[in-house]
Chain A
Amino acid sequence: MDDIDAMFSAMLGEMDLLTQSLGEETVPPEALSNTKKEVNYSIGFTDLNESLHELEGNDLDALMADLMADLNATEEKLATEIECLKAPSASQPDFPPPPKGLSIEPAPSHISPSSAGSRSSNVSTPVPSAASSLAPPPPSGAKPTTEEIEAQMKADKIKLALEKLKEAKVKKLVVKVLMNDGSSKTLMVDERQNVREVLDNMFEKSHCDCNVNWSICETNPELQLERAFEDHENLVDPLSAWTRDSENKVLFQERPEKYEVFKNPQNFYLWKKDKTTLRDMKDKDKELLIQENFCGTSIIVPDLEGVLHLREDGKKSWKQRLFQLRASGIYYVPKGKTKSSRDLVCFVQFDNVNVYYGKDFKSKYKAPTDFCFVLKHPQIQKESQYIKYLCCDDIWTMNLWVTGIRIAKYGASLYENFKTAEIKASNSVWTNRSTPSSSNQSTPSPTVKAKSPNQANGHATKPQPGPISQNPAPPPPPPLAEVLPPPPPDPVLPPPPPPMAAKTASKPTPPKRNQPNNFPPPPLDMDNLPPPPPPPPTDDHLEAPPDFLPPPPPATGFNSLPPPPPSFGGVDHSLPPPPPDPVSLPPPPPDPVFVASGAPPPPPPPPPPPPAAPVATLRPAVRTSGSLKKVPPAPPKRTAPTQGGGGGGDFMSELMLAMRKKHADQ
């Protein structure tokens, strides 16, 4: 739930007010209950609804409702506004309350008052200011100055409004991402975001080691399929294809096969060679292979050819066929024909299909082996004759084919993605710990679990000696701590009390208002906040558990969570009590790996300054909101909140509100 709040606040920087009224504290508990209740953590629409329900009574509902408000209303409002503005003599250009806008307006306004009430007047004030900041030309200026200036301001406002309007058209989804440890994170993803950005987001939230294997995956339990999204893919599109009652889930996982082709290209491009040659391949030869196949004028697809088992349409039998992979698609050799290209029959082309791994097809479809992959249109979610099922003799062949198909389908993007991922990983290594990432890369990537222990060990050794008494194997990598000592910890586990402080602090400092969506102000606040260290820790403890629901004892958990260290180091220094660690412990024993990722505690944000700042900002906002949550009477429930559309909230109306508010204040 934290995440939800954070997301919202991030997205609606100007809507601080609203977000503030959301209660974070309340949220955590709910999350807990949520997890307990649900065996499956699915992201489907239903889930969203559920989570929303849980939030009922919170301002979140109001927020959602606002977001969902009909876009048309906004547009009309905007139109009227524009007209008004255009009228030269319009004395009150800024707030000609458009009829429709009004309807929307009430909700937000309510919220703000409520928040004020709960939090004291101080709180309320800051909010408006923040809102106003979004609208660059504050009304106050407009009034006094000449018409010219007014006109200019109007123009600016219109522009801004239009931008906002465009923004409002952007589709957003609230996505629940399942972590390896069984916990989950909730994110808001807008349709312009690609998977890379979402991954970065998850890195920030989970404090994993950011190695290149991390992937966002989709599972389809009904078809028993799963697939890792490519980093350049848009996330909203495929998720929109899910059905209403879908049990599909989104996972955040390490998938070693994701970029294996760039680590060991010989296994794919020279797969016919004997294993020892492949294993002993020199780095420079690997480099050359990548050059040849990915850096030329065209991307070369591995030369794959072999017998695969094909599931007959509608039948239960599997038939063997000789298949060949080409850049243009998969082909097979019809009976009695030669392998010559001209006789090949096209089996499938890749424009409209994605490749998925099949799970447990041996029992589901009586497949010869469990190493199956599937080609289907992303929108197909149920059994259909249009799904193509193929089965390989071993896992190695399966990975060969699936990777080959991805190369054929995505071409150069794949390599670009990898390079970007590598940079991210190395950055994080640089700031954090070097061991983990390197180990991951070097090891072909057995199982995730195996790795995690390794990492932990590595950390343990490296990390500084003494800081954390509780942790037997203190993971904290020194570097990070040194780099960004105080700030990181705070952002991640913003203690409830601090928020208050933050709020107050923010108020006093007016300059921040001007800063728009960048959240620059918050970071500052955060910095200020650090001083009150004592409270945070405790809070963290409280908070953390709820989010992850991991009842496990801190100490044990901690061992498993090596990753967080970096931030910890910093934390430790600043705050003697190593509270943060416990937080990270949450992850249940089963998937230690995830701990790192899942555990929010150690904020090892690779790019220290920027990322940390945003997070921090979000946090404070959330917190305040949490406190407020009780107050607000849940306006219009999220009637609309179908998760899918989710997001098309109208920022316009919010904007208008904010502006009006400002105006009124003045």
Chain B
Amino acid sequence: MAAWDLSVTVEDLGLDAPPVTISVASDLHIGGVILKLVEKTQIKQDWSDHALWWEQKQRWLLRTAWTLEKYGIHADAKLVFMPQHKPLRLGLPNGITLRLRVCFSNPVFQTVMGICRMLNIRHPEELSLLRPIEEKKKKKDKNLAPEIYDLTEVPLSSGTLSRPCLYNGMPAHFADSPEMEAIYKMLSVSQPPPAPEVIAKQYRPASVVDKAHINGRYVWLDSSRCLLQQGIQESDKLWLRFKYYATYDMDSKYDAVRLTQLYEQARWAILLEDIDCTEEEMMLFGALQYHISKVAQSEPQIMSNNPAMDDLDSALQSLEVKMEGEGSSASDLLENMTAPELTDYLKIFRPKRLTLKGYKQYWFKFQDTSISYFKSKEESIGEPIQMINLKGCEVAPDVNVAAQKFLIRLLIPAPEGMNEVYLRCENEQQYAQWMAGCRLGSKGKTLADSSFQSEIQSIRSFLAMQKTNSSSSSANASEESINTHSLVSPRYHKKYKPKQLTPRILDAYQNVAQLSLTDALMRFLQIWQALPDFGLAYVVVRFKGSRKDEVLGIAPNRLIRIDLSVGDVVKTWRYNNMKQWNVNWDIRQMAIEFEGNVNIAFSCVTADCKIVHEFIGGYIFMSTRSREKSETLNEELFHKLTGGHEAL
């Protein structure tokens, strides 16, 4: 067979270097081409990751046994010889940017699997890569440039799905050096709240349509094609995000990074109003963020997930409990049965009594879940003037540190209704104690409860927060002085001043203050997932036969047709009633058939219909997962469901 010249650009020689020309025959297989190429370059290095990329056809020549003829390559072909894995800047949900080597030659689905394996995130099928289309350089690069963490040295692991072996609760490659450990910590521990300005600067969708357009601003990459095919170059920036809100099999033991990143994504969705919530919900989210950032600082190791250590821990713990149980003597038991008390002079005011200005001082005694008061300390042995059982009451703070106002507002339930009572404390210390007592009492707990001290602590730290806020000078102080504006979306920046926000968040905080880090993260996610609009991806579509644009909401279990102007849900279709769906790739139209002879068809306006197709197929794939199969990902099925004609 006749030999002809094939010129190949070898990336390692530099971009400006002339292509290497080798003499080949059409029956030479790709492996032979590579061999000749390497010999010609005379460079000694590990070429094993390199492969040929055919630029005109936008495809990799990965089958080394195929001949040039079989690939249809002729002398005019422009081939590039380059590594399949290249560094990429990857933005994580928590705002951190990593630099790491990812695969440019396999379908994105596999690339994501590789990334997740490196970062120790289970269930990579729930994530995907987003390409920010319009990235305004000014906005971010200033800050972000120095914040890139380099993971390119991490050895590439083979393509198996096996979980990386863990060392000290993290993948071995993170345990190599202190720097790497620090990076891992950043991945697995939630970030401190962002400065309010940072939140305010970011883009926030104002309507469903805006949200639909996000899918035009940030494009989900096609899972069935590789990065290079989608125009992604070395060192480009992509975002790794959870795409399918069908969180599966979350286990805080193994999912430190996954849980943290999902939380971060949720947090930003709330802060940027990607998902709507009510004011009350926002306050609770704020309280949880505050709590999470606080706890994450104080117990950073809690997330360590070494199973062996866990077992040991729990074993030790149970041992402790046992010994405690056995060791408790009769006197101990008796002691435990007499709860501690709180006594002091406080002022009380009962608005209902129509005694204006009626703050009267009495000797107060807090016992069990009740407050009683007496004329004076000396008379406290006798019958109290009144005894107030706090169980089931509502407790609200009314505090102004600057004005030295420390009020506890109690709504005491009684058969006739709720009675309002104000207790006035003299100072912070007193307030923190009594407030903590009231909080516990309202939940039916006594001062003997183990959470009493920590409750006092959290109240004090909140007071401190208010102090710094009111002085408004030290913006960046310790973590104690978080600006409450960092915890809520900008809408509330306008509505409330930080010091007005503080009591509201504190109010919500009392219900979550005792949660562990993991529980708090889970609670945050649960509340997020319970929001009515949770998990909806919006696309502007045009239904067949309709003359106006409408919004299609894609949820984990259903499709929703939304009136674009009003925002009302017009119709809902559930996937489990779906019989089949088709994409007409020529006219870019999706047609879906549901049970009961329901047929819909639409074309997509703000996103490619491949994206919509992949969303629907992806969610159906997510629903096929089951516990037994969870270890091995059925990649083939995924592509079948999401690939469209390219996959077939």
Residues of A within 8 A of B (CB): 75, 78-79, 82, 158-159, 162, 165-166, 169, 241, 243, 272, 277, 285, 288, 292, 296-301, 303, 326-329, 331, 338-342, 344, 346, 349, 351-352, 377-387
Contact between B491 and A328, CB atoms less than 8 A apart: no
Q: Which residues of A contact B413 (CB under 8 A)?
A: 241, 352, 377-380
User: Does the CB pair A300–B530 fall under 8 Å?
Assistant: yes
Residues from chain A with Cβ under 8 Å of B568 in the complex: 339
Q: Cβ of B557 and Cβ of A292 under 8 Å apart?
A: yes
Q: Which of B307-315, B414-422, B446-454 contacts A (4 or more CB under 8 A)?
A: B414-422
Whether A340 contacts B567 by the Cβ 8 Å rule is yes
- Expressed in whole angstroms, the minimum distance between the Cβ of A80 and any Cβ of chain B is 12
Instruction: Annotate B507-544 by CB proximity to A: 1 below 8 A, 0 otherwise.
Output: 00001000000000010011101111100000000000
Q: For B338, give the chain A residue with the smallest CB separation.
A: A75
Chain B nearest CB, measured from A411 CB (Å) = 9
List the B side residues contacting A377 at CB < 8 Å: 392, 413, 418
CB within 8 Å for A272 and B567 given contacts A303-B532, A352-B394, A386-B417: no
Check A328–B278 contact: CB distance below 8 A: yes
Q: A339-B567, A342-B276 are in contact. Are A380 and B416 (CB under 8 A)?
A: yes
A299 to B529 CA separation, bound complex (whole angstroms): 9
Quote the shortest CB–CB distance from A404 to chain B (angstroms).
Answer: 12
Contact at A328–B281, with CB atoms within 8 Å? Answer: yes
CB-CB under 8 A from A241, the residues of chain B are 413, 415
Is there contact, CB below 8 Å, between A298 and B415? no
How far is it, in angstroms, between the C-alpha of A341 and the C-alpha of B278 when the chains are bound? Answer: 5
**Quick one: which of B280, B392, B529 contacts A329, CB cutoff 8 A?**
B280
In the complex the two chains form, is A298's CB within 8 Å of B529's CB?
yes
Q: Is B165 an interface residue (CB 8 A)?
A: no
**Chain B hits for A385, CB < 8 A:** 417
Asked if A299 contacts B417 (CB within 8 A), the reply is no
What are 25 sample pairs from A and B whose C-beta atoms fall under 8 A apart?
A75-B334, A75-B337, A78-B334, A79-B334, A82-B331, A162-B334, A243-B415, A285-B577, A292-B557, A297-B247, A300-B529, A326-B278, A326-B530, A328-B278, A339-B568, A340-B276, A342-B277, A342-B278, A346-B280, A351-B511, A379-B414, A379-B415, A380-B414, A380-B418, A384-B417
Give the Cβ gap from A45 to chain B, nearest Cβ, in Å. Answer: 13
Chain A residues with CB under 8 A of B418: 377, 380, 384, 386
B321 CB–A CB distance under 8 Å: no
Question: Is residue B330 contacting chain A, with contact meaning CB distance below 8 A?
Answer: yes
* A380 vs B394: C-alpha distance when bound (angstroms): 13
CB closest residue in chain B, given A292: B557
Q: How distant is the Cα of A638 from the Cα of B334 in the complex, in angstroms?
A: 28
A298 contacts B330, C-beta separation under 8 Å = no
Residues of A within 8 A of B280 (CB): 328-329, 346, 349
Closest beta carbon of chain A to B583's beta carbon, Å: 25
B284 at the interface (CB under 8 A from A): yes
B576: CB under 8 A from chain A? yes
The A/B interface has a contact count, at CB < 8 Å, of: 113
Contacts A342-B276, A382-B417 aside, 11 further interface pairs with beta carbons under 8 A come to: A326-B531, A331-B278, A339-B567, A340-B276, A341-B531, A341-B533, A352-B394, A378-B413, A380-B418, A382-B416, A386-B417
B526 x A341 contact (CB < 8 A): no
Assess whether B43 is interfacial by the CB under 8 Å rule.
no
Q: For residue A299, which residues in chain B have a CB less than 8 angstroms away from its CB?
A: 526, 530
Whether, in the assembled complex, B426 has its beta carbon less than 8 Å from a beta carbon of chain A, the answer is: no
Point out the residues of chain B lying under 8 angstroms from A382, CB to CB.
415-417
Residues of A contacting B331 with CB < 8 Å?
82
Binary flags per residue of B281-304, CB closer than 8 Å to A gives 1, else 0: 100100000000000000000000
Q: Is A298 in contact with B417, judged by CB distance below 8 angstroms?
A: no
A386: B residues at CB distance < 8 A: 417-418
Say how far B426's CB is from chain A's closest CB, in angstroms.
29
Measured CA separation A341–B274 after assembly (Å): 12
Q: Which of B396-452 contact A (CB under 8 A)?
A: 413-418
A276 to B22, CA, bound (A): 73
Interface size class of B (residues with CB under 8 A): 35 or more
When chains A and B are docked, how far (Å) is the Cα of A384 from the Cα of B576?
Answer: 47
Which residues of chain A have C-beta atoms less than 8 A from B576's C-beta? 285, 288
The residues of B that contact A381 with a CB separation of less than 8 Å are: 415-416
**Residues on B with beta carbons closer than 8 Å to the beta carbon of A277:** 596
Tell me the nearest residue of chain A to B525, going by C-beta: A297
Q: Does B379 contact A (CB under 8 A)?
A: no
Chain B residues, CB < 8 A from A303: 532
B-chain residues with CB within 8 Å of residue A165 when the two chains form the complex: 337
- Measured CA separation A78–B415 after assembly (Å): 37
Candidates B279, B337, B392; contact of A379 at CB < 8 Å: B392
A613 to B526, CA, bound (A): 45
Which A residues are CB-close (under 8 A) to B333?
Answer: 162, 166
The CB with the most chain B CB atoms within 10 A, among A165, A299, A328, A384, is that of A328
Query: A300 to B413, alpha carbons, bound, how many Å?
Result: 30
Residue of B331, B557, B572 contacting most chain A CB atoms (<10 Å): B557
Distance between Cα atoms of A509 and B418 in the complex (Å): 58
B250 within 8 A of A: yes
Q: Given that A328-B278, A328-B280, A379-B414 are known contacts, is A298 also in contact with B533, CB under 8 Å in the complex?
A: no
Neighbouring A residues of B279 by C-beta, 8 Å = 342, 346
Which residue, B394, B417, B522, B527, has most C-beta atoms of chain A within 10 A?
A: B417
A162 touches B250 (CB 8 A): no
Do A341 and B277 touch across chains, with their CB atoms under 8 A apart? yes
Q: Shortest CB–CB separation between residue A214 and chain B, in angstroms? A: 27
B52 → chain A, closest Cβ, in Å?
A: 46
Chain B residue at smallest Cβ distance from A300:
B530
- Give the CA-CA distance A340 to B275 in the complex, in Å: 11
A344–B529 CB distance below 8 A: no
What chain B residues lie within 8 Å of A339 (beta carbons)? 567-568
Could you tell me the distance in whole angstroms from the C-beta of B468 to the nearest C-beta in chain A?
28
> Which residues of A have CB within 8 Å of B531?
326-327, 341
Residues of B close to A300: CB separation below 8 A? 529-530
In the bound complex, CA of A379 to CA of B527 (Å):
28
Give chain B residues whose Cβ lies under 8 Å from the Cβ of A351: 511
Closest to B532 in A: A303
Taken together as a complex, chains A and B put the C-alpha atoms of A383 and B531 apart, in Å, by 34
Knowing A298-B530, A380-B418, say if A352 contacts B392 (CB, 8 Å).
yes
Q: A71–B247 Cα gap in the complex (Å)?
A: 53
Report B-chain residues with C-beta under 8 Å of the C-beta of A331: 278
A82 and B330 CA atoms in complex are apart in Å by: 8
B514: min CB distance to chain A, Å:
15
Give the shortest distance, in Å, between A237 (CB) and chain B (any CB).
8
Q: How far is the CA of A344 from the CA of B531 in the complex (A)?
A: 13
| Residue contact A327 to B278, C-beta cutoff 8 Å | no
Q: How far is the CB of B148 from chain A (nearest CB, A)?
A: 33
CA distance A169 to B446 in the complex (A): 15
Q: What CA separation (Å) do A162 and B333 show in the bound complex?
A: 8
For the complex, what is the distance from the CA of A380 to the CA of B419, rounded to whole Å?
A: 11
**Chain A: which residue is nearest B207 at the CB level?**
A340
List the B side residues contacting A349 at CB < 8 Å. Answer: 280
CB within 8 Å for A162 and B414 given contacts A169-B337, A328-B278, A328-B284:
no
- Check A380 against B417 for contact (C-beta < 8 Å): yes
Q: CA–CA, A62 to B413, complex, Å?
A: 35
B276, B334, B577: the one contacting A341 at CB < 8 Å is B276
Q: Smallest Cβ distance from A255 to chain B, in angstroms? A: 25
Give A272 to B569 CA distance when docked, in angstroms: 11
With A297-B247, A341-B278 in contact, do A380 and B415 touch (Cβ < 8 Å)? yes
B contact residues around A159 at 8 Å (CB): 330
What are the residues of chain A within 8 A of B557 when measuring CB–CB? Answer: 292
- B529 contacts across to A, CB distance below 8 A: 296-298, 300
| A349, B530: Cα distance in complex, Å | 15
Q: Find chain B residues with CB under 8 A from A326 CB.
A: 278, 281, 530-532
The 8 closest A-B pairs by CB, nearest first: A384-B417, A341-B276, A298-B526, A381-B415, A379-B413, A327-B530, A298-B529, A377-B413
Q: How far is the CB of B369 from chain A (nearest CB, A)?
A: 12
B417 touching A344 by the CB < 8 A rule?
no
Closest to A284 in B: B576
Which listed residue, A292, A301, A338, A344, touches B567 by the CB 8 Å rule?
Answer: A338
